[in-house]
Amino acid sequence: MQFISTRGGMTPAGFTEVLLSGLAPDGGLTVPDALPSLTRETLESWRRLGYAELATEVIGLFATDVPREDLARLTAAAYSPDRFPAPIVPLRPLTRVADGLELVGLSEGPTMAFKDLAMQFLGQAIPYVLAKEGRVLNILGATSGDTGSAAEHAFRGKDNVSVVMLSPHGRMSDVQRAQMYSLDDPNIVNVAVHGVFDDCQNLVKAVNADPEFKARNSVGAVNSINVGRIAAQCVYYVWAWLRATDELDDAERSGAQVDVAVPSGNFGNIYAGHLAREMGVPIRRLILATNENNVLDEFFRTGVYTPRSREDTLATSSPSMDISKASNLERFVFELLGAKEFSRRWPELEARGSLDLSDQQARFESEFGFVSASSTHEERLTAIRLVHTLTGRLIDPHTADGVTVALALMEPGFPTLVLETAKAAKFGATVAEALGGEQAVDEAVQALLDAPQHVTELDNDLDALRSLIEEHALRA
């Protein structure tokens, strides 16, 4: 498989090459030049595989330049029992909430968030590529909550990798901050930016848009634009369909489809689901769920994409989705329009602050299976309360957005899988508000909250960030 840029100015490159980069050299995002097809026979042949073995097969569709035995070793290390206790991705029925509703448990990893499933793979794959090439990498990332801690826990202590992670000052939960800021590994640098997540993301993009600075300081990215994360996220869409259909007989499996509800901020997770669906995983609909920062919901309902200003980005009780400019949407629009039409129409977004694709909106569901809705604070509290009352399970507020939207849009006869975003313990205050009282805090979580924290505060200033990167960058 080769990867190309949405902007058309990049020589096709293999997986290991684009794995180490953020934006493409022309400022676009890398996408596969073509996708393989997964037949029902192939999917059935994977049914008895463990998660790490399945990851080797699925990621191997993208990482065609990595020897199979090396890839198997990387996935075995990434999904080992010391990182993910079995079952790695359990499916938990929520039938008492609604018939056919299931929760896909993606938060069994070291930082209690779905980001671990992709990031632990990158924590093995990126050092592997660097060691082969005798290089170092200084990862620059932006996080609205869980990406930062997942990246830092995946790369902490690595000899040839450093991490500079930007987060919006005061906009994450106490546990999210503690998971990041309590790390004292010398190759981890936490930066709290005075602004919102979109400011952090814009700073990362600005650094990546300077090829000379980026090359001189060996800057790369592991946030949601990294294709390695997209490939690794495709795995659990395949896994979820296999597990959801395990109890069906052969005749029932042949026509079995599922809907998948995905809480979405930056469009990375659901884009992986889109790729899985395009390759042939029997996903009927991708149900996109947003919070009050509903720019993506607005786009999929109307066809008009209008990112909001930083002043208009709301601070909500599902803070990891407080994003008003979804980086990965560019990948979908590129596929939607094709290269020529994309190059003509995408610049409208920069010129006008909005992109009107309402002439394409009918295709969103009919061709690509996308439907969407948003959730409010009161609705996510209701969802947390409902799930806990009927099943005894605790869900976090982002997952509650997914449950809320799934309940609004699910249709009889089609199982609806809600992708879990994080453990409820990461958002104790919101869960307590929903349930009318504080929940018991796990000893390990309390120890984390009590640990000393290490963070550098920074104004929303590109020159200041450049100086910080140069100060901390590893040199080959």
**Phi, psi of 98, deg, nearest 5:** -160, 140
132 is catalytic: no
Task: Name the catalytic one among 115, 158, 325, 423.
Answer: 115
Q: Which helix (H) or strand (E) holds 323?
A: none
Q: Which pairs with CB-CB distance under 8 Å and at least 24 residues apart come from 349-352?
A: 349/305, 349/307
Burial track 195-231 (b if 16+ CB lie within 10 A, e otherwise): bbbbbbbbbbbebbeeeeebeebbbbbbbbbbbbbbb
Residue 167, strand partner residues:
192
String of DSSP letters for 27-47: S--EEESS-----HHHHHHTT
Q: How far apart are CA 270 and CA 286, in angstroms?
A: 7
Alpha carbon 289 to its chain's center: 14
Cβ atoms 56, 68 nearer than 8 A: yes
Report the candidate in 436, 419, 418, 439 with the shortest Cα–Cα distance to residue 427.
439
**Residue written as tokens 């299976």?**
369
Cβ atoms 382, 433 nearer than 8 A: no
Report the candidate in 299, 244, 236, 242 with the shortest Cα–Cα distance to residue 267.
299
Helices then strands (H, E): number in the chain? 22, 15
Q: How far apart are CA 90 and CA 104, in angstroms?
A: 6
Pairing of strands 283-290, 258-263: parallel
**DSSP E strands, 112-183:** 137-142, 161-168
Cis peptide before 67 (omega within 30 of 0): no
**Token pair of 323, please?**
């994003």
Report the candidate in 244, 306, 245, 235 with the shortest Cα–Cα distance to residue 272.
235
Report the candidate in 103, 187, 171 with the shortest Cα–Cα distance to residue 137.
187
Q: Is 150 left (phi over 0), alpha (psi -120 to 50) or beta?
A: alpha
Pairing of strands 91-93, 101-104: antiparallel
Q: At 10, which amino acid appears?
A: M
Q: How far apart are CA 244 and CA 249, in angstroms?
A: 12
Active site (catalytic) residues: 115
